[in-house]
Structure 1
């Protein structure tokens, strides 16, 4: 069989379209079955099989005759089916009602972008606690920490606001952060 297929492929490479029809006849059912098993839909499987043969025909010059033609055409079909699965749109609409649920549509499957109320409360409590601890820092560190982390100013901007050299600002931020870290561990 392999020698027959290799002869047919050589004919196709020479431009013989009838020879390619023979190849299609030999492999069309197997290519279709591979696509059908992957996609589960006969119409899509037919599309993939046709596309696989079209790609095989247009790229026949890249086929390595030392390998089996069947492996090559099956790989093309498999890759096309995988591509189709990746691009496949869901077979439902978001507005459709979900079976077995009362008044829910497919939108209800998506997580809300909003924080849960209990998460909001925890976050606010955490912010208040950190703010309290910042207020306990010595003023020279407190101002540097607030300007850097709460007001999001650059080191240069902080140095201008506090009328200090940038190196001093860096030191105060570092020492303030260390003091805050120590306070937070102790609390």
Structure 2
């Protein structure tokens, strides 16, 4: 795939702007998933993914063709998501109690598409709990955990995306895991 991507990037650098659409098609799902896991919000993830592609397109001349494009693109998306997290704190949480009610939360107001068996409910609640706890991690640990365990990238790739030494990445993954473990035990 790297050879295909390099060929497309060379076309874009020569002025064939339509060729960038092929890049978007190749990476749109991965970029969206990274953004979503970082932000936990569909709309914001779509915005960040779109912005990542815009930034990649406008800065394509800065991209070094002998490097791995996906690493460069994921770094852009991760940095944009972290910037968004720093600028904005959520106005509400789905598990926050609704004022004037006895124990009702925003979760209880979400419509269900179908009745789910007990086991599936437990599984979904566990996944939501883990996702929520990932969202509660500081951004530096959150990005490392998401890139390692959800995107399944190597330590070297994560190191390049976050522009950190591999040892620092290992430390952040370890500390992020420990923080998750503690939060999930106490939750």
TM-score, structure 1 as length reference:
0.49
Asked which structure has the greater RCO (Cα within 8 Å, sep 6+), the reply is 2
- Between structure 1 and structure 2, the one with the greater Rg is 1
TM-score, structure 2 as length reference:
0.49
